[in-house]
Amino acid sequence: MLATALATTPGSARVIAVLRFPLAEALAPYRNLAIAIVGLAAVGLVIALVGTVGIARGVTRPLGALAAVAGRIAAGDYTPPAASARGDEIGQLSDALSRMAEAIRERERHIRHQAAHDAATGLPNRVDLLQRMSDLDRCALVALSPRRQREIVDTLGQGWGDRVIAATADRIAETAAFDATDPSGRAVIARIGDGTLGLLLPGVDVVRATDVATAAVAALERPLNIDGLSLDVTAAAGISASPDHDVPGADLLKFANVALAEAMRRETGVAVYDPADDPHRPERLSLMSELRDAIERGELTLFYQPKVVPATGRTAGAEALVRWFHPTRGFVRPDDFIPLAEETGTIRLLSRWAIATAAAQAARWRDQGFDLKVAVNISARDLADAGLPERIAASLAENRLPADRMVIEITESAIMGEPDAAIAVLQRIAEQGVALAIDDFGVGQSSLAYLRKLPVQEMKIDKSFILKLADSVDDQAIVRTIADLARTLGYVVTAEGVEDARALEHLAAVGVDYAQGYHMSRPIPPDAFDAFLADGRWPATTPSLVT
């Protein structure tokens, strides 16, 4: 029972309402409704749960698959995920992954290509060549270089250097000999240096490689035609082979380069690796450290060879030529250590020594009353010695010798294509009043047009044109032409290699300024030179000056 007082107006009697109907009975009609509501809610919840799980699975399963694909891509497997038919976000993600895999595959292919190829020519590079070589037990390697590559790069620029290398490779690939060694199609022409190609010939021995190299060099006798420009390159090739030169792969490359350096010196332009040419062999290195010691200990001497005026017989000068009498090896020929000293850089020490020694000797002769110009040879490497002009000035000053008593000889090949800095060194030597002479003139590839730009005063005609002068009409014509031309251009002309009186007479008739050779005297030590001067057969002063 439930009783509750009802609100009334003030002053009226209290009214109390009494409920006498049972509450449970009153609520009974609503119980079913409540049960239905709870039941519905439960069913709804279950449906929602099932739906959520379903949807979640529909998303996570394809996502998991895509994650696995991403993992494979990371591991380097670029097979794209199976094409998705779904148009929703998952489908889009799958397509994006596909495209990414393809892009990565393409970029990786590009990077691999770049790593194995030379960018400028598209040829395989040295890394690639070494990689291929390491897989071979028997192979030959030919290192080939256009002889005029450096000149071409210097005058036309690096772009043309690249074009020449590419055209050279094409020319070689066309030769039948190269084709014949390559039934397997595994032979490659790679760019192994700025100006050097490497021909890797699998299963080929030295003999067959020499055939290929000879054919390649011959094919390059014909000018290359690039963009309408005809370029005469001529080539040299060095050969090494395994197992002939029984060494692991990397050394084969070094050996082919050593042979190439030798081939450059040969007229045939082809050389097989010979350990005797190898500047890196230990014996040679010890010779070089001994040379340094020999210079410091004063074991080197200069010999002098007279330069005589053909018409009068007057001795006007001398060329200083280094001699090395080794305490245990005996006499070491300059041809055996000068090239080596040039390669190792020791030549700079040697040249500074030779200049100081020759200046002192010239001063001694001056003090004895002989007015002789003394010539000293320098090498291309000396032109990298920016301090050389000052050393020459110092040697002259120490001996109070006028600069015009000294001549510096350099071969044409040593100055051809040298950078401006090297030419500046020559310029600074000449500015002091020291004369520059071009040695071995006529055998190099230089042009008079180029030499005209240099501060040169003297041309020394190479001895190959003089040795048989009396009997060779050709040589006579050449010598006359060179002498006339040089004289017209204002050069002093010297002929080297005068071995008999007839040659000397001929030179007197042609009118060269100086003659030098065994006929007058071999290179001799200073005291023998004094005796030579005293002998009077080739008086050191003109008769008019004597009286």
Q: Which of 499, 524, 538, 541 binds ligand G (CB under 6 A)?
A: 499
Closer to Mn ion by CB, 338 or 363: give it: 338
Q: Is 378 in the site for ligand G (CB under 6 A)?
A: yes
Q: Which of 177, 204, 287, 322 binds ligand G (CB under 6 A)?
A: 322
State the number of binding residues for ligand G (CB under 6 A): 23
Is 218 buried (19+), middle (13-18) or exposed (0-12) by CB count in 10 A? Answer: middle
Minimum CB–partner distance for residue 456 and ligand G (Å): 15
Q: β-strand 458-461 against 492-496: which pairing, if any?
A: parallel
Question: Which residues contact Mn ion by CB under 5 A?
Answer: 377, 409, 439
Q: Is 354 in the site for ligand G (CB under 6 A)?
A: yes
Minimum CB–partner distance for residue 333 and ligand G (Å): 6
H-type alpha helices, 145-276: 149-156, 158-174, 176-180, 206-219, 249-265
Q: Which amino acid is at 370?
A: F
Closer to ligand G by CB, 129 or 300: give it: 300
CA–CA distance, 354 with 376 (Å, rounded to integer) = 7
Minimum CB–partner distance for residue 533 and ligand G (Å): 18
Closer to ligand G by CB, 216 or 295: give it: 295
**Going by C-beta distance under 8 Å and a sequence separation of 6 or more, which residues neighbour residue 410?**
377, 378, 379, 380, 383, 426, 436, 437, 438, 439
Q: How far is CA 120 from the centre of its chain?
A: 15
Q: Which residues, 126 to 155, sit near ligand G by CB under 6 A? A: none
Minimum CB–partner distance for residue 461 and Mn ion (Å): 12
Contact assessment for residue 346 and residue 288, using Cβ atoms and an 8 Å cutoff = yes
Minimum CB–partner distance for residue 328 and Mn ion (Å): 29
Q: Is 414 in the site for ligand G (CB under 6 A)?
A: no
Of the candidates 348, 218, 306, the residue with the CA atom closest to the CA atom of residue 270: 218
Candidate segments 283-291, 481-489, 496-504, 539-547, binder of ligand G by CB under 6 A: 496-504
Question: CB nearest ligand G: which residue?
Answer: 517
Place of tokens 């082979």: 241
Closer to ligand G by CB, 143 or 406: give it: 406
**Going by C-beta distance under 8 Å and a sequence separation of 6 or more, which residues neighbour residue 49?**
none
Closer to ligand G by CB, 188 or 504: give it: 504
Closer to ligand G by CB, 69 or 320: give it: 320
Size of the chain in residues: 547
Contact assessment for residue 125 and residue 114, using Cβ atoms and an 8 Å cutoff = no
Q: Is 310 in the site for ligand G (CB under 6 A)?
A: no
- Residue 84's binding partner among ligand G, Mn ion, none (Cβ under 5 to 8 angstroms by kind) is none
Main-chain phi, psi angles of 282, to 5 degrees: -55, -40
- Strand arrangement of the beta sheet that strand 270-272 belongs to: 188-193, 196-202, 139-146, 235-242, 270-272
Q: Is 318 in the site for ligand G (CB under 6 A)?
A: no
Closer to ligand G by CB, 175 or 361: give it: 361
Per-residue x/- marks for ligand G, 500-539, CB under 6 A? ----------------xxx----x----------------
> In 10 A of CB 440, how many CB atoms?
18
- Residue 438's binding partner among ligand G, Mn ion, none (Cβ under 5 to 8 angstroms by kind) is none
Binding site for ligand G (CB under 6 A): 305, 321-322, 334-335, 338, 347, 351, 354, 377-379, 439-440, 463, 496-499, 516-518, 523
